[in-house]
Amino acid sequence: MSASSDQRATRHRLLTDRLLGPFGGPRGRYAPAAARGVAGLAPVVLLLGLPLVLAALRQAACASNGWQGRAPVWRQCASPLMTSFVEDHAGLGVGGWLAGRTDVQLPVVPGAMTALLGSLAPGSGLAQQRWVLVLWAVVAAALLAGLVVAVGTALGHPRADPVMLALSPVVALGVLLSVELVPLALAVFAVWAWSRRRVTLAGVLVALALLGSPLALAPLLAMALVPPAGLRSPRRRLLGTARVSLVLVVGPVAAVDLGLLLRPVRAWAQAGAAAGSPWFVPTLAGHPLAPRDVVLLAVLGLLLGAALAVLLARRRPRPCVAQVALVALVPVLLTAPALPPARALWLVPFVALAGVPWRDHLVWAGAEVVHAVALFGWLTSASDPAHGLPAGWYATALALRLLAVGRLAWIAWTLVPTPAPARSSIDQ
C-alpha cells in the first residue's frame, strides 16, 4: 500500500472516531465498512448547517428592518456586503459595475461576485437586499462544502481536520458579512490541487485568488516552497501558469475599465488604518498614523511573513503547505491596514489543514467573538456614548485578538518537529 493510501486510511479512521465518539464510541472491529473519500465526508458537510444557521440568525434583525442608518450597528448585524448595496449602488449589477456607475471598490473577483449578486437578486431596496443575503448564503454554503471536501481529501496534510472547519465559530461570525469567502476558497482549492499534483489547475486557481485578495500570496509562496515530490519543475510550471492566467484575465478587464483594477488599490493605499489593525490604536488615542506610514508597515509585514515562510520551509522534516501558508499569512494580517471580522475567515481552512489543536482553535475563535462584539460596542459609542464601549476597552479587545492570531503562527511553527541531533560515538 502506498504512503498516500496509508494517509487516507488513517485520516478516515480518525475522522470516523471524531464523529462517532460522542455517540457511542468508534466503529467496532466487525462493523461494516464505512464510506471513504468524498462520501465519507458527507456527515461533516452536514455539520456546516450549524454555523450557517447561526450566521443567518445574526442577520435576522437587519433582514427584518433593513441595513440603513445606525440601527444595524446597534443590532450588531452591520455588513460590508450590504453596505455595498445600501451606499455603493451594487444593486445596479454587473452592467453598472463594468460601466463604472457603482462605488464598489473591491478587487476584481469579489467585485464581480458582488455585482453578480446584484444582477441576480430581483426587486430593489430592502427586497433586493434580502434576496442578496439569501443568494449569498446559498453560494457560501456550496463553497464551504467544497472547502470541507478539500481539507478532508488534501494529501500531504496528515493532521488535517475537516470537522474543525465545519464547526468553526469564526465561520458563523463572518461568512455572511462579505464575499471574502470567494478568493479564500480559490486559494484553498489551489492548495488541494497542488497536493494532488495538478500543477496547472493550482496555478489557474491561485491566479484567480490573487485577483480577489493579496492574501493569496501566502498560499502561493507556500506552494512554491513545498512542492510535491517526484514532479519535474513544479515551481516553474506553477508560477508560469499563474502568470499566464493573470494576463488572460487582467487584459480584458483593463480593456473594459482600467479603474476596476486601480480603484481598489488606490482606495487601500489612501484609507489609512481601520478597525482591527494594530495601527488603528493611535487613531483611538486621537493621533492617527498617516496613510503612507500604514502602507509601509503593511509592506514590512508582507516581507516578514515571506521570510518566516522561507525559514519554516527549510526545516526537516519538511512542513506541510498549510503550515507554511499559515506562518506567512499571520504577519500579513497582523500588519494590515484593516482586519475586519470577516477577514479572519482566511485563517480557518489553513488552521484546519495544519492540524492546530481544537483547544487553541477555540481560544482564537473566542478572541474573535470578543473583538467583534467590542467593535460594535465601540461603533455604538459614536452615536450613544452612554451605551457604547469606550475606546480603551475596544483597544483591549483588539490587543487580545491580535495576540490570539499571532499565537496561531507560533503553534503552526511548533507543529513541525525538530529532529534530534545525531549522537556521536563518544555519547554512545
CB contact at 8 A, 34 and 27: yes
3-class state of residue 405 by DSSP: helix
For residue 51, tell me if it sits in a domain: yes
Residue 422 has a pLDDT of 44
- 306-325 tens-digit pLDDT: 999 999 999 888 899 999 99
- Give buried/exposed letters for 361-399 (b at 16+ CB in 10 A, else e): bebbbebbbbbbebbbbbbbbeeeeeebbeeeebbebbe
Higher per-residue pLDDT: 387 or 200: 200
Residue 185 neighbours by CB under 8 Å, 6+ apart = 143, 146, 147
CB contact at 8 A, 406 and 330: yes
- 102-133 tens-digit pLDDT: 888 999 999 999 999 999 999 889 999 999 99
CA distances to 215, 294, 320 from 223, in Å: 14, 28, 9
The shares of helix, strand and coil residues in the chain, as percent rounded to the nearest 5, are 70, 0, 30
CA distances to 75, 185, 223, 314 from 180, in Å: 22, 9, 21, 31
| DSSP at 388 | S
In angstroms, how far is CA 282 from the centroid of its own chain? 27
Residue type, 209: A
For residue 29, tell me if it sits in a domain: no
Lowest mean per-residue pLDDT among 98-102, 138-142, 165-169: 98-102
Residue 277 has a pLDDT of 94
Higher per-residue pLDDT: 16 or 175: 175
Give the phi and the psi of residue 157 in degrees, each rounded to 5. -130, 75
For residue 117, tell me if it sits in a domain: yes
Which grid cell is 309? Answer: 515562510
Asked whether residue 29 carries a pLDDT value surpassing 60, the answer given is: no
Please state the rounded mean pLDDT for residues 333-354.
96
Asked whether residue 331 carries a pLDDT value surpassing 90, the answer given is: yes
For residue 103, tell me if it sits in a domain: yes
- 241-259 tens-digit pLDDT: 999 999 999 999 999 999 9
For residue 233, tell me if it sits in a domain: yes
Domain residues for the domain of 392 are: 35-414
Asked whether residue 22 carries a pLDDT value surpassing 70, the answer given is: no
Residue type, 63: A
For residue 5, tell me if it sits in a domain: no
For residue 326, tell me if it sits in a domain: yes
Residue 16 has a pLDDT of 47
Q: Taking all residues of the chain, what is their mean pLDDT, rounded to a whole number? A: 88
Please state the rounded mean pLDDT for residues 339-361.
95
**pLDDT range class, residue 230, cuts 50, 70, 90:** confident
> Could you give the CA distance from residue 211 to residue 223 in angstroms, rounded to a whole number?
17
Which grid cell is 165? Answer: 472547519
> Could you give the CA distance from residue 365 to residue 371 in angstroms, rounded to a whole number?
10
Residue 37 has a pLDDT of 67
**How many structural domains does the chain have?**
1
For residue 424, tell me if it sits in a domain: no
Asked whether residue 425 carries a pLDDT value surpassing 50, the answer given is: no
